Chain A
Amino acid sequence: MLTQPHSVAESPGKTVTISCTGSSGNIASNYVQWYQQRPGSGPTTVIYEDIRRASGVPDRFSGSIDSSSNSASLTISGLRTEDEADYYCQSYESSIWVFGGGTRLTVL
């Protein structure tokens, strides 16, 4: 099970961090992916293998892992209105995928 905040909001140009907290050590021992889903569209990969940016993703997006707290984070700096979307973390538990509940990012 992965837990994300339901929503976050920040102003253009600012930095926002979205957390993803796992249970039973799953994040500490498995890779985490982050997906962006804009309104009316399907998901696209933003971060894979904890920290790697997908092709075409600007370096304003970064991923990190904190093994001590079994959590992952997605940080977006220099926020733009186009970053407004739902963001989902995804990892693994015994060979199956698990998703976080998603975080709605609003760029005010």
Chain B
Amino acid sequence: QVQLQESGPGLVYPSQPLSLTCSVSGGSISSGGYHWNWIRQPAGKGLEWIGRIYGIGTINFNPSLRSRVTISMDPSKNQFSLTLTSVTAADTAVYYCARARVASETYWGHGILVTVSS
């Protein structure tokens, strides 16, 4: 069964970039048909989809975050990554990575808390 694990700094200074990596085990990130997603959840609030990457590099973004988000894949490491620029306290949240595919359940990572503070 596939497993996903988020990693990255737990504290980011305001205006700096937030960079996270999702390491995938139990399946190849290059396997066809899978979509690799980033989702976040501020404390006490609901889920917010950030974006996804799939295929040979097709990317979809949440329009509200599009201008600040980069998503990439590294098949050699079986990882995909998120970079969010110009962060503020409003970007403080638990960040999740997830694998989705048509006709299959979505698998989630355990999440990583990222705090934006000086």
Contacts and interface: CB of A to CB of B under 8 A. Distances in A.
Contacts of A95: 60
A65 B77 CA distance: 40
B105 A45 contact: yes
Interface residues of B, number: 23
A97 B37 contact: yes
Nearest to A86: B46
Interface string A6-49: 00000000000000000000000001010100000111110011
A63 B73 CA distance: 33
Interface stretch (B13-21, B24-32, B78-86, B107-115): B107-115
Nearest to A96: B60
A43 B108 contact: yes
Contact of B63 (A90, A96, A100): A96
A88 interface: yes
Nearest to A101: B46
Contacts of B117: none
A48 B49 contact: no
B109 A54 contact: no
Nearest to A33: B106
B118 interface: no
A68 interface: no
A33 B105 CA distance: 8
B45 to A, nearest CB: 9
Given A55-B105, A95-B60, A42 B110 contact: yes
Contacts of B110: 41-42
Contact of A43 (B60, B96, B104): B96
Given A42-B96, A48-B104, A96-B62, 16 more contacts: A33-B105, A35-B106, A35-B108, A41-B110, A43-B96, A45-B107, A48-B106, A52-B105, A88-B46, A88-B47, A96-B63, A97-B39, A97-B49, A98-B49, A99-B47, A100-B46
Interface of B: 37, 39, 46-49, 52, 60-63, 94, 96, 102-111
